């Protein structure tokens, strides 16, 4: 069973069971060590760097992002 299979099955569950599952999964993140957190973030940073480098995503200037967040852009 893949992660995608698990997600698909979880989405078929009643909302109260999904909420309980989400709570359990979120609590399990607290068990991650500092070194594991660092590794996770380094992996994510590298993934994002590659996406920018190959042109899959484009960067948005902070000023433009801020205007969008404030509802002005």
What pTM value is reported for the model?
0.49
Mean pLDDT for back-to-back runs of 10 residues, the chain (73 residues): 93 96 90 89 96 93 92 74
Strands (DSSP E) contained in 1-73 are: none
pLDDT at residue number 29? 82
Classify residue 70 by its DSSP letter: T
| Alpha-carbon span 66 to 73, nearest angstrom | 8
Residues 16, 10: Cα–Cα separation, whole Å? 11
């Amino acid at each position: 069973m893949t992660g995608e299979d698990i997600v698909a099955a979880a989405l078929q569950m009643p909302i109260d069971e999904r909420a309980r599952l989400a709570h359990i999964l979120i609590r399990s993140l607290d068990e991650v060590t500092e070194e594991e957190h660092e590794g996770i973030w380094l992996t994510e940073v590298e993934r994002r760097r590659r996406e920018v480098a190959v042109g899959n995503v484009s960067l948005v200037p902070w000023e433009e992002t801020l205007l969008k967040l404030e509802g002005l852009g």
